A and B are shown apart, each in its own frame.
Chain A
Amino acid sequence: QVQLQESGPGLVKPSETLSLTCTVSGGSISSYYWSWIRQPPGKGLEWIGYIYYSGSTNYNPSLKSRVTISVDTSKNQFSLKLSSVTAADTAVYYCAKGAEYYDSSGGRTAWDAFDIWGQGTMVTVSS
């Protein structure tokens, strides 16, 4: 069973870069979409972006100018960098795996659903 574990600093200073890593265990990082999602305290979920194992990426337009997601297949990890952070970036950050289901004709479906999530890591932006 695939498991995900986020790691990185829990405190980041304003204007600095937030850096997190998600380690994939129990399976290969190849062949799936991998996302970062965040949740400010008491608020809803916000998709940050995804990376495909091949390296192609797609980011939330509202964060695109500050986000970089990368993958290291040799380490079975993918990472998030969010630059120029402010207090508004304070949140629980989750990494998540894109699902792999198949429809009745054998076609892959629900690639954009998240079937496995990390436990989440709280990141506070404060001086």
Chain B
Amino acid sequence: SYVLTQPPSVSVAPGQTARITCGGNNIGSKSVHWYQQKPGQAPVLVVYDDSDRPSGIPERFSGSNSGNTATLTISRVEAGDEADYYCQVWDSSSDHLEFGGGTKLTVL
């Protein structure tokens, strides 16, 4: 199966920039989607296809993907951004879907 590796935690001060990585073998050749999940809530799609934002998602959320690493970048971090973030891909070689292990973003 295709393995996606995320750091367990990332901490950032309010107003700063948070970068959450998602590592995978040649992940740059895949489309990566990112979800935000707050405690007790269902996940919310914040970035799809590496860098596109669904309607209603602030421009502060952006994504990139190249080589073996995809990155979710959150600019001007706010307290309300504190959540778990998951990356996700479709692995066409095995024909199934994978989630990363998740990263807990803490706003200091």
Contact = CB atoms under 8 A, between A and B. Distances in A.
Given A99-B45, A115-B45, A44 B86 contact: yes
Nearest to A45: B99
Q: How many of chain A's residues touch chain B, expressed as a range?
A: 20 to 34
Classify the interface of chain B: helix, strand, loop or mixed. Answer: strand
Contact of A94 (B42, B88, B89): B42
B97 A44 contact: no
Interface in A43-74: 44-47, 50, 58-61
Given A113-B88, A114-B43, A44 B96 contact: no
A110 B31 contact: yes
What is the size category of the interface that chain B forms with chain A? 20 to 34
A110 B33 contact: yes
A99 B34 CA distance: 13
Contacts of B102: 44-45
Top 5 A-B residue pairs of the complex, sorted by shortest distance between their CB atoms? A117-B42, A112-B90, A113-B33, A47-B97, A45-B99
